[in-house]
Amino acid sequence: MLIQKGNIFSWKLIIFLVVMSGIFNFYLFPKYAVKYNDEKLIPLDLRSSYNCEEVVELFSKMGIEGRRNYQISAGIVDMIYPVIYGPLLVLLLSKIIDHIFKRKSYLKYLALLPLLAMLFDYSENMHILKMLAEYPDIKESTAFRSSVFSGFKWYLVSLIMVLVIAGTFISLVKFLIIKEKDKK
């Protein structure tokens, strides 16, 4: 299995995915960030909820060039990004769960939560692209569904981050306890 403890391939893949995630977060997303009078606008995919009026207002502020950039961001960049963060989070959670629970545990299935977040992210992106195509006549039902997908994505990502942080802390404590016992 690729994610077994000690497997050098999985650590190399994790490092590669961290570097790629950094490229997306610190270069690509800022490059395609939409501005209005030198003020950065908060795109829909960074919000946990919104309504049709907020979408129309945002798209209006973006202007033609901004909407074109957002189409590139949502249609290309943000369609690739889940393929980076999804496997990264699956690998990290798998490593953490394996380290904490040496025996087989049903908690290993928590490592699949990032795949569900990816599904919500793709659904959100497709709805954003649809609303960009419909603008200025955006349907309330499309905006509602998009907002629901955004909310589910962010709730899952938040839960996943809590699991990674808590799991890392527990793993570190467990490592220090084992190391202390080995000294005796």
pTM for this prediction? 0.88
Residue with tokens 């889940």: 82
Q: What is the pLDDT of residue 104?
A: 75
**Separation of alpha carbons 127 and 46, rounded Å:** 14
pLDDT single digits (tens) 83-111: 999 999 999 999 999 888 877 778 889 99
pLDDT single digits (tens) 107-126: 889 999 999 999 999 999 99
Q: What is the pLDDT of residue 136?
A: 95
pLDDT single digits (tens) 137-154: 999 999 999 999 999 999
Name every residue whose Cβ is closer than 8 Å to that of residue 101 and which is 6 or more positions away in sequence.
107, 108
The beta-strand segments (E) located in 63-157 are none
**Separation of alpha carbons 183 and 181, rounded Å:** 5
Q: Is pLDDT above 70 for 5?
A: no
* Per-range mean pLDDT, top range of 4-8, 33-37, 89-93, 98-102: 89-93
Q: What does the domain layout of the chain look like in residue ranges?
A: 8-183
Q: What is the mean pLDDT of residues 159-170?
A: 96
Q: What is the pLDDT of residue 8?
A: 58
Name every residue whose Cβ is closer than 8 Å to that of residue 108 and which is 6 or more positions away in sequence.
94, 97, 98, 101
DSSP state of 46: G
pLDDT band at 6 (very low <50, low <70, confident <90, very high): low
- Secondary structure class of 184 (helix, strand, coil): coil
H or E element, residue 126: helix 113-134
**Separation of alpha carbons 87 and 78, rounded Å:** 15
Q: Is pLDDT above 70 for 2?
A: no
Q: Is pLDDT above 80 for 35?
A: no
